[in-house]
Structure formats: structure tokens, C-alpha cells
């Protein structure tokens, strides 16, 4: 089956049209992982990254860490974020919270995470020039982020040196440009 469109299609749309998107949490375009909203603008090999795969589980864990960070910021105003990576057995988020979090806070945080996930908030990866991304986080550092740009220099595969891709959810910047 050949799929041709004169307009760019999103990776998720292509997978859906081919009947391969049901379990996909991301895609690979010509071997490079991308989110499902990535535009396909040229002939490419597109394949799903299923949630049941190791890579898919890492993506879900990373996304869940952002959801948790957003919930904590709602419940504990003034919380400042560091980084929130996926790790082998789950995920974590470095954050600076006014006061102390206790085990008794976990059910409230989980409930807020459920509430946020039901709000259908747009989560998007922004592709910005590196210096523009740095300026954006420096500007927001005082209120929501935790001096990440001083602590975590950029040097990952999501940062090419010229462009960077921070994550935004409903206007709240959740992750800095990658280190």
C-alpha cells in the first residue's frame, strides 16, 4: 500500500493510516525517534515505537515525570523544577519545593496527575534556536525553574548545538533544552 500526500503528514497519522499506530507512543522516521506529531515532509521510512517496547516504556516514564512535575507545581505553588528523566526502574524529578513533601502527599499528587491527564492539555516539543531556548528558561528561572541552565549544560542528542527542543504543556515549560 502506498501512501502519498501532497501535504506533510504527522507520523501518528501515517501509522494510523497503515493500521500500525494503536500502541505507538512515538515513531521512528528513517531510524530517528520522533514524537507522533512530527511532520513527514519527504519520502521516509516510518515505524512505530510501541508502548510495550523498552524505548516506549522510557518515553512513557519520561512523560509521566513531566505530568508529576506539573501536578506538584499546581499543589505546591512556587515549586521550581530541575530535571526529570526516565531511569531503569521508573523516573524521578529534581525539584525544589517550599516545605517538605511526605508520603501522605503522594495520593494528592496522584489525584492531581489524573485530573491533569483528563484536561486534554496540549503537550508539545518546541524546536527553538539554542540561544532562544536558553533565554526563555533564564526568563522563567526565577518563578518555575531551578537554575537548570547553570547546573545542566546542554550536550544531548536532542540539542544539535544550533537548535534545542524544550517541552511545554499547556503553556507551562516542563523541561529545559536538553543537556
pLDDT tens-digit profile, the chain (179 residues): 445 555 778 888 888 888 887 889 999 999 999 888 888 888 888 999 999 999 999 999 988 988 998 999 899 988 888 777 888 899 988 888 888 899 999 999 999 999 999 998 877 777 777 778 777 767 765 555 544 444 444 444 344 455 555 555 555 555 544 43
d(CA 118, CA 11) in angstroms, rounded, equals 24
d(CA 70, CA 72) in angstroms, rounded, equals 6
Cell of 109: 499528587
| pLDDT of the residue at 165 | 55
pTM for this prediction = 0.72
Helical residues (DSSP H) of the chain, grouped into ranges: 11-17, 54-75, 106-117, 130-141, 148-151
| pLDDT of the residue at 71 | 93
Burial of 72 (0-12, 13-18, 19+ CB in 10 A): buried
| pLDDT of the residue at 174 | 52
Number of neighbouring beta carbons within 10 Å of residue 171: 7
Please give the domain boundaries of the chain with CATH numbers for all domains: 9-51 (3.10.20.30), 55-175 (3.30.980.10)
Amino acid at each position: 500500500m502506498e501512501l502519498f500526500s501532497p501535504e506533510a503528514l504527522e507520523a501518528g497519522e501515517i501509522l494510523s493510516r497503515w493500521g500500525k499506530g494503536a500502541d505507538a507512543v512515538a515513531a521512528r522516521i528513517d531510524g530517528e525517534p520522533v514524537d507522533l506529531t512530527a511532520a513527514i515532509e519527504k519520502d521516509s521510512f516510518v515505524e512505530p515505537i510501541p508502548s510495550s517496547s523498552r524505548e516506549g516504556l522510557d518515553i512513557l516514564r519520561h512523560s509521566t515525570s513531566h505530568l508529576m512535575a506539573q501536578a506538584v507545581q499546581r499543589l505546591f505553588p512556587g515549586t521550581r523544577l530541575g530535571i526529570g528523566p526516565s531511569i531503569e526502574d521508573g523516573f524521578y524529578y529534581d525539584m525544589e519545593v517550599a516545605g517538605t513533601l511526605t508520603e501522605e502527599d503522594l495520593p494528592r499528587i496522584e489525584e492531581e496527575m489524573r485530573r491533569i491527564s483528563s484536561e486534554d492539555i496540549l503537550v508539545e516539543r518546541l524546536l527553538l534556536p539554542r540561544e532562544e531556548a536558553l533565554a526563555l528558561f533564564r526568563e522563567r528561572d526565577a518563578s518555575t525553574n531551578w537554575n537548570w541552565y547553570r547546573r545542566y549544560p546542554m550536550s544531548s542528542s536532542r540539542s544539535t548545538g544550533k537548535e534545542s527542543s524544550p517541552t511545554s504543556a499547556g503553556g507551562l515549560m516542563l523541561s529545559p533544552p536538553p543537556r
